[in-house]
Structure 1
């Protein structure tokens, strides 16, 4: 049996949902708090299942293309975050060790938990496997999912 457009799009959307759920599992079960860049990387995986459901429901070519762009953005965010973790370039000052936001606070404010929320540093790897961080895996998986969205897009062109 030959894979169809809907097979490719369903797989791409379901895989994004699985990646999103894995992020929440690492956060709430394993106890690894996400940094700002980690949270940014969740957005494309939240959008992709919605695009997938829409593409499966209405057909056409634009939603698979939007899914591919969404996963390209996710891959870009993952690559950017990987570079920040490996110190190839600076990350956002709000999560990469810059303390400028704390300079104007009094000692009492710094000790008050209602004034200061915990900061998870974007340039520190919290978990890795085979030398790759979660950001690196997100980049690789997002590139693969981009290919699935493009495959669905190509199949949409031949079937519609």
Structure 2
């Protein structure tokens, strides 16, 4: 497959995770919003997608380029799926699976020790929202929508 579909998909597979990571790092280092454990989980697939999409610009064979773009799209979708889970924890649709989404309680009976051992940023409390959507929710929307768009571009026929 050659043509505008692959070119556009390759660029979107690179620029979308770059933009989302730039937003995450900007909100952390410029905006003072410190990521919780699940926030970091959402970043790792984007880093992988950036690497795969970059490689897709340098491999010589079209089939390899397509495979790398598909891999990037799947990694972006994985980040979106983690974002859905994280947003669900924030909205109290379900319980989180980490210590950052539960009140401190080790069962030791020492409340101060429990508080001191708790993470600084809780996973079940959104630090920022816009129109009722948290950063995890926005990551889910942009990542899942972007992954679908990348795959749709790859299916587009040239001409």
TM over 0.5: yes
Inter-CA distance 147–93: structure 2 relative to 1 (3 Å threshold) = closer
Cα offsets for 1:80-113 (capped at 9, x unmatched): 0111001110002411124234837695x679xx
Inter-CA distance 16–102: structure 2 relative to 1 (3 Å threshold) = farther
Inter-CA distance 104–64: structure 2 relative to 1 (3 Å threshold) = farther
Structure 1 unmatched runs, 5+: none
Aligned length: 152
Q: Secondary structure at the match of 1:24?
A: helix
TM score, norm. by length of structure 2: 0.82
Equivalences for residues 95-134 of structure 1 within 5 A: 95-101=100-106, 103=108, 116=117, 118-134=119-135
More displaced stretch, 72-81 vs 89-98: 89-98
Q: Where does structure 1 differ by over 6 angstroms across 4 or more consecutive aligned residues?
A: none
Partner of 2:84: 79
Structure 2 unmatched runs, 5+: none
Q: Secondary structure at the match of 1:57?
A: coil
TM score, norm. by length of structure 1: 0.82
Confirm or deny: 8 A CA contact 1:12 1:148 kept in the other structure: no
Equivalences for residues 4-19 of structure 1 within 5 A: 4-19=5-20
Q: CA RMSD in A?
A: 2.5
